[in-house]
């Protein structure tokens, strides 16, 4: 029974966190623009911004 409780807790934490795409977009944006505001906006776009960045280049 303890295994199920741990599994449910892990799923709950993982589902409430930010996605990898969101974190990647925030890091890319901050490194390029040095702006927390732009990083937050680009984080909302997540994978869309990451793919755009890859296509447009640095």
pLDDT at 39: 97
57: left (phi over 0), alpha (psi -120 to 50) or beta: left
Distance, C-alpha 58 to centroid of its chain: 19
Predicted confidence (pLDDT) per residue in 1-58, tens digit: 555 666 666 565 556 678 999 999 999 999 999 999 999 999 999 999 999 999 998 6
C-alpha 4/C-alpha 27 separation (Å) is: 34
pLDDT at 11: 61
pLDDT at 35: 97
pLDDT at 18: 84
């Amino acid at each position: 029974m303890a295994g199920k409780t741990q599994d449910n807790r892990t799923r709950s934490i993982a589902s409430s966190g930010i996605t990898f795409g969101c974190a990647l977009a925030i890091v890319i944006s901050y490194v390029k623009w040095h702006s927390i505001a732009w990083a937050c906006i680009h984080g909302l776009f997540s994978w869309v911004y990451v793919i755009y960045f890859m296509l447009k280049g640095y």
